[in-house]
Every structure is written in C-alpha cells, then in structure tokens.
Amino acid sequence: MGSTGAGFGFEVRARLGAGAGRTGVIVTPHGRIATPAFVPVGTAAAVKGATPEQMAALGAQALLANAYHLYLRPGADVVEQAGGLGAFMNWAGPTFTDSGGFQVLSLGAGFKKVLAMDTAGLADDQVIAKRSERLAAVDEDGVTFRSHLDGSRHRFTPEVSMGVQHRLGADIIFAFDECTTLMNTRSYQERSVARTQAWAERCLAEHARLTESRAGLPYQALFGVVQGAQFEDLRRGAARGLVRLAAGGREFDGYGIGGALVKENLAAIVGWVCAELPWAKPRHLLGISEVDDLFAAVAAGADTFDCVAPSRLARHGGVYSADGRYNVTRARFARDFGPLDADCDCQTCAGYSRAYVHHLLRSRELLGYTLATIHNERFTVRLVDSMRAAIESGGAAGFDRLRDRFLSRYFGP
C-alpha cells in the first residue's frame, strides 16, 4: 500500500482509556488541527454571518466548504485563479471540501441536511420530501442533476468531483459517494454501498493522476467515505473495502463517515466503522454538532466533525448555552440584559446582551446573525476542545466527568 502524501500526516497523542476515542494532530500544508475538533461549515466559502477573522478568533482550526456549490458559483476555475479556497476566502488555516455527494440526497430526495429522519414503517427507494422536485438522478457512472440556481443540467462523476476539488485546492477532500436516506430499502443500500466503493476506486486513481500532473502544488489529502446506513454488516464491509483500495501508489489518507443516521444508533455506527479503520489515520464524521452526539462520537473514535447547524440555528434565533438550547427571539428575552450564556467567553457574550440580540434578530438586522453565529460556533468549537483537554489531562475518567457534568446541566433533570 502507498504512503501518505508529503505535507499531510496524523499522529495519535492520547487514548481514551481502552476504547476507540483518542486525541491527535492532523498536519496539513496550511497548518495543524488538534483533534478531536469541530470544523465549522462555510458552504459557499463563507460561514454565514461571520468573517474568517472572527472564525479564527473564536478558535476554529479549519473550515469546510461545499464543492457542489462552489462548482456552480463562482466556479472552481475562479477559486483556482484566486490561489485556492483559503486564499479566495482570506482564511490562512486548513480547509476541507466535501465531494458534492450529499447533493445526491438533497437534490434527489429534497431532504435537508439532518441527522435522523422519521422513517417508522417506511421503505421507499423513490422517496422524496413533501413539496420537493427531484433534481438529481443516480446511475452507475455518476449523477446527473439540474442546478438549484438556474435549472441548468450538469454531470458529476468521481473524476469530475476530483477535478473540481483539486481546482478548489482544499487541504482535505472527500471521495465522491452516494448518500442515501433511511427510507431506502436494504437492497438499495447494498447496491449503493457497492456503487460508492466503485466510485471510491475511481476517485483514488484520478486523485493520483491529478496529484502527479499538478506537482508543485500543496498536497491534498483524500478521504474515502463509509456509507451503509444503519446496517452493521454494510458499514463494516464498506470500511474494510475502502481500506483495501489503492491506486497509483496511494491509499486513502483518512476516512469520512457519512449518511443519514438514526440518532440513537450513532455511537454504535461510528464504533463499527472505527473498528475496521486503521488506527493511524484520521476519521471525520460528516454533519454532526449536537452536544450529546459529539460526546458519543468522540468516545466511539471520530476525530473531526462538521455541521451547518450552529450558524443555521443562529440565523433563526437558536442559541446554545450551558443550560440548554433556547430561542432568543422569544418575548421573555426582550428585557434580559444578561449575556447569551454566562459561561461563554466569546466576543458576543463579552459585550452584548440577550435583549440586544433579541432586538436585532426580531428587526432582521444582519448584525444579529453575526453575533448569534459567533456565539454558537464558539460554543461548539469550545465544547470539543474541552473534550480534547479532558482526555489529555484526565484520560477516560476525565472525559466521563466532563460528559456527565455537561450533559446533566445541558438537558436538565
């Protein structure tokens, strides 16, 4: 099997007792990421409501952007001409791009990016969300889709996704995969896992070719994505299949864990996958940010996480606090002159009150989105940072104390 590319690496630092959880450091051409770490999402090369300087100040170590959205607007060639994703958005640290595979789900079935769906008693391979139109169709070679912007037709294959992501220039990129819904039947999930495996092999080959043809540019690490829904045999088999792959003298530099999950099974699913993956390579859990999910995923062996929820909730008044999540636009906060969270050290909580943020959001002032976003992103980044510190200073006992204390207060009696 081949070696990791120059400029990228991963080192495990401390283990969470005898379990799969650990701390470590991911090394990229644009900096290091101490893990476990939360990676805020800037879908279109911007975290909605916050500048890159604000994201750095609140402790974000890396940012993730969406290859599909940047492909449509402004175009991967524009980002490449600007010097790559980081230079384009004025972000000096490490960057991730996802493959566009999630759009297979969101365009094909119309679902938002959610962790779990209500699928009781349902199994439908042609499922589509209410009031949605199918904009994408999957075949064995790739995905044909219509732009959500103007209806124009486009085609994504593993090779196209690799080409787009190489031009975007992120430090960590993901293999093109099919993200299914929990309503898909077992037989469809089996076919989808096989399809994602075949696409992963093509991604590896194209990644190796592009890396060689673009010699002199910073190395981009390629992560394979493990699918398989809620089925243990499919998840384990998918992970083993990706580990076995190698093309052009290279193997995957790390692994992503994707797909819609039943929330109650999250820890088990991450555990199944991590048990099959190499200990010496990083694991990224896609689309997770709820506090109990983060604790469960860290304990099960995930190293990094991304999610749009902190900024999306902020724009609708949703605020994280040590005492639970609440909506600051409710009438009872109109005269509350305390901070969003008395235990928070972010810029918003240091200088602005609930009453003021309440006023801004009710008035649809853009500053309200910024202040709430800064707080929610800091809250999430800081929480995962505290898990890393607890493991390194107190091992399993320290992590357990942090988890029990935090969750009992966050969710209440």
Q: Which residues are catalytic?
A: 98, 306
Nearest to 97 by CA among 47, 42, 145, 144: 42
Phi first, then psi, for residue 112 (nearest 5°) are: -75, 170
Counting DSSP H helices and E strands in the chain, the numbers are 14, 16
DSSP string, 310-350: HHHHHHTTEE--TT--EETTSGGGTT--S-S-TT--SHHHH
What angle (nearest 5°) sits at the alpha carbon of residue 12, between those of residues 8 and 16? 150
Cα 303 to Cα 38: distance, rounded to the nearest angstrom: 9
DSSP string, 212-265: HHTTTSPP-EEEEEE--TT-HHHHHHHHHHHHH--BTTB--SEEEE-S---GGG
Q: Give the three-class secondary structure for 75.
A: coil
Contacts of 265 (CB under 8 A, 6+ apart): 230
Contacts of 34 (CB under 8 A, 6+ apart): 23, 24, 25, 61, 385, 388
Kind of pairing between the strands at 143-146 and 153-156 = antiparallel
For residue 163 the two structure tokens come to: 């080409």
